[in-house]
Structure 1
Amino acid sequence: MTPQSSTDPCAPLADVVALAALAWVAAAALHEGMGHGLACTAMGGDPTNWSTFHFGCNQEAMSLWGRRIVAGAGTAVNVTLAALGWLVWRGSCSLRGRLAGWIVFALNGLTTFGYLVFSACFGIGDWNGRGVMAGVTDPVLARFALAGVGVAGYYAVVRVAAGMLSRVLNGAGMAAQARRCAVIVWMTTGVISLAAALASGSDWRSTIGASIGVALGGNAGLLSIGRFVKPTAAASATTLSPSWLLRVVAILGTVAFVAILGPGIAL
């Protein structure tokens, strides 16, 4: 077996999985709880339940704009997290910090714009005709515009994420390193989402499509990042050392996410 490169930051497989798991769990939980949940309360709604990929909100007393704000608040959280990920990547002096920032940026950026395309093409999700786009005068034109913004933004996130990763990786086989990192992150989001869907109990059939679609479908742009990475003089030259604390925290966080928010919490 060929030994892994000493300059490959993805060498500790378990640590990359742990970073991806924490980033994905945080993104999903905050999208629903902090995004839809706080907006629901602020707009005069009545929160009813909170699960991994859904937040129930009684909107009978809300205005049209209130319902739109609640629907779009989850995506606003993803945009904020993507920006924070970029800032962490830019400001961190450690390889682990830069890799964590890249993962947070990539997952939340792809979720943001992938959601726009998802809603525009299939008419479901937060940006559909019952959510952010409720009451628009020309729904067909609105969906085309939404899809256009989503596709352009999604491509931009892939290219920016590739540039960020180019400054983390180094040495020969950079494209292979990038593909390895990206596939690990992509598969981690899919496994966690599948576990959360199965934990939802009797409603797992309706949950599994949405959760896996968001994870493996929405994050599929990760699989093309290896095509766009390029060598750079600013690339890191240190090795990512294993962190057992990170792995334990990731396991506990993922178990809590699946076991508690999987079945959902009545509010």
Structure 2
Amino acid sequence: MTPGSSAGLRLPPADVVALTALAWVAAAALHEGVGHGLACTALGGHPSNWSTFHFGCDPQPMSLWGRRIVAGAGTAVNVILAALGWLVWRGSSVLRGRLAGWIVFALNGLTTFGYLVFSAVLGIGDWNGRGVMTGVADPVLARVAPAVIGVAGYYAVVRLAAGMLSPMLNGADVAAQARRYSVIAWMTTGVISLAAALAAGSDWRSTIGASIGVALGGNAGLLSMGRFIKPTAAASTTTLPPNWLLRVAAILGTVAFVAILGPGIAL
């Protein structure tokens, strides 16, 4: 099936939850472990711990540019995952596969540009003055430029993701369908992030920050997806049966993410 195919999609909500859970767990784990972790090791840093939304790296042995690269490496992984999601959406001949590609693209694209805005406005995160912008004294370059790029990129991701979802839907209620899938995905990332924060024994402030800031805040663009959906003249609607293997994989992956990376791993 190609992006111009004319079959609409109906998927059980539990399968949307499962696809989102797997995509979100993978994105968070790879952002920290592969992005920050590999960059830290490759550039001479000393890894100390790896958890759901943090990777500890002693930057003392590294150069200024080395510290910047380590800080930005997590976002680079999200960019790669977003690109892979788009390729899967475009090339998959399976409707469930195309939806998986859409979810991977949307979550990683929103994380990429949302992080720029998050760091610029609040001064925390990978792109702040202690991360990618380390040593940048000019406030325009340090905070205004990332914020502008972040807002523009975030809007572009929302519009592109809506365009990707439109051909997979059918009927007069396509906007409602889009909102349904988007809200399910949004809530799933929040619940998983909250569970991971609680597993870390965080106080209520950091718990709320992890669940709302990282997930519900960063992925809030999903909630506006419905307004950009364009109805398509799909010839038929395919209602997919439940995929129990997918659901079991999502449960196991989420439990491992929360139980192991929630408390963190000492390195």
**1:148 aligned partner:** 148
CA RMSD of aligned residues (A): 1.6
AA in 2 matched with 1:143: R
In structure 1, C-alpha distance between the alignment counterparts of 2:30 and 2:235, rounded to whole Å? 31
Deviations along 1:59-116, one digit per CA (max 9) or x if unpaired, are 1100000000000000000000000000000000111000000000000000000000
Show structure 2 runs of 5+ residues with no match. 1-6
Asked if 1:182 corresponds to 2:170, the answer is no
Question: CA shift at 1:53, angstroms?
Answer: 0.2
**2:4 aligned partner:** none
Show structure 1 runs of 5+ residues with no match. 1-6
Check whether the contact 2:179–2:225 (CA below 8 A) recurs between aligned residues: yes
**1:261 aligned partner:** 261
**2:242 aligned partner:** 242
Asked if 1:165 corresponds to 2:165, the answer is yes
In structure 2, C-alpha distance between the alignment counterparts of 1:128 and 1:37, rounded to whole Å? 19
**1:3 aligned partner:** none
Check whether the contact 2:27–2:81 (CA below 8 A) recurs between aligned residues: yes
Structure 2 counterparts to residues 201-220 of structure 1, below 5 A: 201-202=201-202, 205-220=205-220
Question: CA shift at 1:208, angstroms?
Answer: 3.8
Normalised TM-score (structure 1): 0.94
**1:4 aligned partner:** none
**1:106 aligned partner:** 106
**1:42 aligned partner:** 42
AA in 2 matched with 1:67: R
In structure 2, C-alpha distance between the alignment counterparts of 1:55 and 1:257, rounded to whole Å? 14
In structure 1, C-alpha distance between the alignment counterparts of 2:10 and 2:187, rounded to whole Å? 14
Check whether the contact 2:40–2:47 (CA below 8 A) recurs between aligned residues: yes
In structure 2, C-alpha distance between the alignment counterparts of 1:78 and 1:202, rounded to whole Å? 25
AA in 1 matched with 2:176: A
**1:232 aligned partner:** 232
In structure 2, C-alpha distance between the alignment counterparts of 1:190 and 1:28, rounded to whole Å? 13
Asked if 1:15 corresponds to 2:15, the answer is yes
Q: What is the total number of aligned residue pairs between the two structures?
A: 261
Question: CA shift at 1:141, angstroms?
Answer: 4.0
Q: Give SS of 2:258's match.
A: helix
In structure 1, C-alpha distance between the alignment counterparts of 2:234 and 2:136, rounded to whole Å? 47
Question: CA shift at 1:212, angstroms?
Answer: 2.6
Q: Which runs of 4+ in 1 moved over 6 A?
A: none
Question: CA shift at 1:235, angstroms?
Answer: 8.1
Alignment CA distance shift 1:92-1:234 (3 Å): farther
Percent identity between the aligned chains?
Answer: 84
Question: CA shift at 1:241, angstroms?
Answer: 1.9
Check whether the contact 2:8–2:168 (CA below 8 A) recurs between aligned residues: no
